[in-house]
Chain A
Amino acid sequence: MPVLEYKEVTKRYGGLTALDGVSLTVEPGRIVGLLGPNGSGKTTLLKLACGLLTPTSGEILVCSQAPGSPASHAQVSYLPERMAVPDWMTAKQLVHFYQDFYGDFRQDVAWQMLSDLNIDPALRVREMSKGTREKVQLILVMSRAAMLYLLDEPIGGVDPATRDYILSTIIANYNPEAAVVISTHLIADVEKLLDQVIFLKNGQLVLQSEVDQLREEKGMSVDALFREVFKC
């Protein structure tokens, strides 16, 4: 049974069509890369799946439920593209905040990651550098034992060494029943991690394929293929 399913989903903002009849499924145990140029609909696609937006037409199912319902919130761990936690809180307060909100939150995992990345739990969000804020948010999101992780640009602001740590953390926390959808421009960095890639172009799905199958058929990396498909 798919963890995430889009059926002919269209989303319009006034006259602007952000998503145009997208159908796709994500199976359990899959790590999927959501790739596309700026403004191609990646963030809209993710926001629809966690119920922050409602589709203009079409249907979305998360673990067979409508997004946005309490049952679906309990299954989905979402990392928004922007900072979405109160900036006066410390890292420690945030861990407790998440613990209170989510029954599947694993405090031990969160503490371990904070310590691995040398983040002082007493630091307030507003005192943190941009990269550290991103790390803290990602730690909170990945510390949940969710069925579906939706990560919108999770590694954009962090240095390459931390990027490696974060990606290996995603693997280490990997649960064969769960699925991860990552939207990113840093294709070369995440490529080895992905089972599948989805290419979005002007709100339309242009490709959904297995990474290794693509590399075999095209004889090039996904990064190289992306540059070819979306050549300006």
Chain B
Amino acid sequence: MKWQFSSDAPIYAQLIEQIQRTIVSGGWPPGERLPSVRDLAGEAGVNPNTMQRAMTELEREGLVYSQRTAGRFVTEDRARIEAARNQCAQRQIQTFLDKMEQLGYSGEEILRLVEQEMKGES
């Protein structure tokens, strides 16, 4: 998994987002056992406490769960993963809409442009 960090947001928030993305895109399939916090922290080059904090938050959200001795796993609840996937999509769309608005496009214009672009692609 490739880790990338921007300079303006808290690191734990960026970790959460990147792990969410890996899970919803199937990079870590449902039921997959995750590497240890220390290994993940080493791979991402972040502080282990920060990685732990991200994992705790992901557990709270129900995307991962830990079993006392066996380690930490991706949830097998596909509906939960699908919901997270929708959230990711909504965030992407919102970012896109904000940027288009800054460029001065109206909602209708944006829809038209997106349709055009998608037709052009196919």
Q: A-side interface residues toward B, CB under 8 Å?
A: 29-31, 164, 167-168, 171-172, 174, 188, 192-195, 211-213, 215-216, 219-221, 223-224
Nearest residue (CB) in A for B12 is A212
**Would you call B29 an interface residue if the criterion is a C-beta within 8 Å of the partner chain's C-beta atoms?**
no
Chain A contacts for B67, CB-based, 8 A: none
Tell me the complex Cα distance, A193–B38, Å. 12
Interchain CB contact under 8 A, A171 and B38: yes
A-B contact pairs, 10 of them (CB 8 A): A171-B38, A171-B45, A192-B5, A192-B46, A195-B47, A195-B50, A213-B10, A215-B8, A221-B7, A224-B7
Pairs of residues from A and B, 7 with the lowest C-beta to C-beta distance, nearest first: A221-B7, A212-B10, A192-B46, A215-B10, A171-B42, A216-B10, A168-B42
Contact with A along B9-21 (1 / 0, CB 8 A): 1111100000000
Q: How far is the CB of B18 from chain A (nearest CB, A)?
A: 13
Chain B contacts for A212, CB-based, 8 A: 10-13, 50, 53
**Would you call B48 an interface residue if the criterion is a C-beta within 8 Å of the partner chain's C-beta atoms?**
yes
Q: How far is the CB of B11 from chain A (nearest CB, A)?
A: 6
Q: How far is the CB of B8 from chain A (nearest CB, A)?
A: 6
- A223 interface neighbour in B7, B9, B44, B49, Cβ under 8 Å: B7
Q: B18-58: which residues lie under 8 A (CB-CB) from chain A?
A: 38, 41-50, 53
Interchain CB contact under 8 A, A193 and B7: no
Interchain CB contact under 8 A, B47 and A31: yes
- A168 interface neighbour in B10, B13, B45, Cβ under 8 Å: B45
How many residues of chain B get a CB closer than 8 Å to chain A's CBs? 20
How many contacting A-B pairs (Cβ < 8 A)? 58
Q: How far is the CB of A167 from chain B (nearest CB, A)?
A: 6
Interchain CB contact under 8 A, A167 and B45: yes
Interchain CB contact under 8 A, B48 and A174: yes
Chain A contacts for B12, CB-based, 8 A: 212
- B38 interface neighbour in A172, A188, A219, A224, Cβ under 8 Å: A172
Interchain CB contact under 8 A, A192 and B45: yes
Tell me the complex Cα distance, A30–B49, Å. 8
Chain A contacts for B5, CB-based, 8 A: 192
Interchain CB contact under 8 A, B45 and A193: yes
Asked, given contacts A193-B46, A212-B50, whether A171 binds B41 with beta carbons under 8 Å apart, the answer is yes
Q: How far is the CB of B57 from chain A (nearest CB, A)?
A: 12
Chain B contacts for A224, CB-based, 8 A: 7
Interchain CB contact under 8 A, B48 and A171: yes
Tell me the complex Cα distance, A188–B5, Å. 11
Of the listed residues B10, B41, B47, the one surrounded by the most CB atoms of chain A closer than 10 A to its CB is: B47
Q: How far is the CB of B24 from chain A (nearest CB, A)?
A: 24
Chain B contacts for A215, CB-based, 8 A: 8-11
Nearest residue (CB) in B for A188 is B7
Chain A contacts for B50, CB-based, 8 A: 192, 195, 212
Interchain CB contact under 8 A, A221 and B8: yes
Chain B contacts for A171, CB-based, 8 A: 38, 41-42, 45-48
Chain A contacts for B7, CB-based, 8 A: 188, 220-221, 223-224
Q: How far is the CB of B112 from chain A (nearest CB, A)?
A: 34
Q: How far is the CB of A198 from chain B (nearest CB, A)?
A: 15
Interchain CB contact under 8 A, A174 and B10: no
Q: How far is the CB of A127 from chain B (nearest CB, A)?
A: 31
Tell me the complex Cα distance, A212–B5, Å. 13
